[in-house]
Homo-oligomer: A and B are copies of this chain.
Amino acid sequence: MPTARRRKSMPFVVVEMWEGRTVEQKRGLVRAITDAMIDHAGCKPDHLHVVIHETSRENWGRSGVLATDLVEKK
């Protein structure tokens, strides 16, 4: 049954962002993204993984400029 199949869906989500969030923020983020996947993509929570890649500012560039330099310029 198509519906049954859809329910088995088991995605994972990778968040790439700067380091520095608290555990409390991550806790809320993981819960909210999981809810988003359940509400809008028909996922079941059981096999749903969310992984956060925390990247330092010196490893992130935008518009050709390191984030470190963006902060320093401010």
Residues of A within 8 A of B (CB): 3-18, 20-21, 23, 25-37, 39-43, 45-55, 58-71, 74
Contacts and interface: CB of A to CB of B under 8 A. Distances in A.
A51 B62 CA distance: 9
B54 A59 contact: yes
A45 B9 CA distance: 17
A34 B71 contact: no
A41 to B, nearest CB: 5
B45 A52 contact: no
9 contacts: A7-B74, A10-B17, A12-B12, A13-B14, A21-B42, A30-B61, A47-B47, A49-B62, A54-B59
Nearest to A9: B18
